[in-house]
């Protein structure tokens, strides 16, 4: 097993009863574990013709920025509605209860870009699929998605792969 997995802390019943919250703050605060995460991710995606790294607010900003730096590529933020100051496009998606909207700057990527989408964790896949849609709307190609954690029981990874997009997940946990 990869050593970094032990650095992820689990908080039962947060933010609501029944959720096992996978807390990556303890991973982010461990430089050795973060080096392992960065190396596993960058070794996998280097030489794949990427031109841009898109990180999903907020935890995807942290790993996304490190990956962008390591691969010497531009970093693009995908943010919750109303946060980006310039012209944006938006995408709605379903949450367990209700809906949410994410946005990207209209000039963040274009049809010549090959993008890697980054977040800390994939659960139902709603957030990542909405991010993929945003990038596609701007005419760019999504080469793949990378996550530190997959929750396979929630089926998000499969949904993305069923859309023909490659997924890397560095580890997985049972349950929700
Ligand atoms: P989803 O759109 O269902 O794939 O949810 C993914 C987003 O929700 C990611 O940005 C995660 O950070 C967060 N998330 C969902 N479930 C968990 C969990 N059990 N522990 C920590 N974060 C979670």
Q: Are 42 and 72 in contact (CB under 8 A)?
A: no
Residues 98-124 as b/e (b if ≥16 CB within 10 A, e otherwise) read eeeebbbbeebbeeebbbbbbbbbbbb
Residues 138-172 as b/e (b if ≥16 CB within 10 A, e otherwise) read bebbbbbbbbbbbbeebebbebbeeeebebbbbbe
Question: Is 59 a pocket residue for ligand 1 (Cβ < 6 Å)?
Answer: yes
- With a cut of 80, say whether residue 5 has pLDDT above it: yes
Identify the band that residue 2 occupies on the pLDDT scale cut at 50, 70 and 90: confident
Question: Is 55 a pocket residue for ligand 1 (Cβ < 6 Å)?
Answer: no
At 145 the pLDDT is 99
Q: Please write the tens of the pLDDT for every residue from 55-88.
A: 999 999 999 999 999 999 999 999 999 999 999 9
Q: What's the average model confidence in pLDDT over 128-146? A: 98
Q: What's the average model confidence in pLDDT over 152-157? A: 97
- With a cut of 70, say whether residue 120 has pLDDT above it: yes
Question: Is 169 a pocket residue for ligand 1 (Cβ < 6 Å)?
Answer: no
- Respond yes or no on whether the N-terminal peptide bond of residue 58 is cis (omega within 30° of 0): yes
Question: Is 102 a pocket residue for ligand 1 (Cβ < 6 Å)?
Answer: no
The residue ranges of every structural domain in the chain are 48-172
Minimal-distance CA residue to ligand 1 atom 5: 123
Among residues 22, 57, 59, 133, which one is catalytic? 59
Distance CA 60, CA 57 (A): 6
Minimal-distance CA residue to ligand 1 atom 9: 121
Compute the mean pLDDT over every residue in the chain, rounded to the nearest whole number.
Answer: 97
Identify the band that residue 38 occupies on the pLDDT scale cut at 50, 70 and 90: very high
Structure tokens at 160: 């993305």
Among residues 9, 94, 96, 161, which one is catalytic? 96
Q: What is the dihedral of CA 133, 56, 65, 62, to 10 degrees?
A: -160
- With a cut of 90, say whether residue 31 has pLDDT above it: yes
- With a cut of 70, say whether residue 133 has pLDDT above it: yes
Q: How large a percentage of the chain has pLDDT more than 70?
A: 99
The second-level CATH assignment, the architecture, of 48-172 is 3-Layer(aba) Sandwich (3.40)
Whether 9 is a known active-site residue: answer: no
- With CA atoms as reference, report the closest residue to 8 among 32, 20, 26: 26
Between the two ends of the chain, the Cα-to-Cα distance in Å is: 21
- With a cut of 70, say whether residue 1 has pLDDT above it: no
- With a cut of 90, say whether residue 160 has pLDDT above it: yes
The pTM of this model reads 0.97
Distance CA 97, CA 143 (A): 30
At 60 the pLDDT is 98
Q: Please write the tens of the pLDDT for every residue from 93-109.
A: 998 778 999 999 999 99
């Amino acid at each position: 097993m990869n050593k970094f997995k032990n650095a992820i802390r689990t908080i039962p019943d947060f933010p609501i009863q029944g959720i096992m919250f996978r807390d990556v703050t303890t991973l982010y605060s461990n430089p050795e574990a973060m080096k392992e995460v960065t190396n596993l991710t960058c070794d996998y995606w280097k030489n794949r013709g990427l031109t841009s790294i898109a990180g999903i607010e907020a935890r995807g900003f942290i790993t996304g920025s490190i990956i962008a730096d390591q691969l010497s590529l531009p970093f693009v933020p995908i943010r919750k509605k109303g946060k980006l100051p310039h012209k944006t496009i938006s995408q709605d998606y379903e949450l367990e209860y209700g809906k949410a909207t994410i946005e990207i700057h209209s000039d963040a990527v274009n049809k010549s870009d090959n993008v890697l989408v980054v977040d800390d964790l994939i659960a139902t896949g709603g957030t990542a699929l909405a991010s993929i849609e945003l990038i596609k709307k701007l005419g760019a190609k999504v080469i793949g998605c990378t996550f530190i954690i997959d929750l396979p029981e929630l089926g998000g990874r499969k949904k993305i792969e069923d859309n023909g997009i490659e997924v890397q997940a560095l580890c997985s946990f049972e349950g929700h």
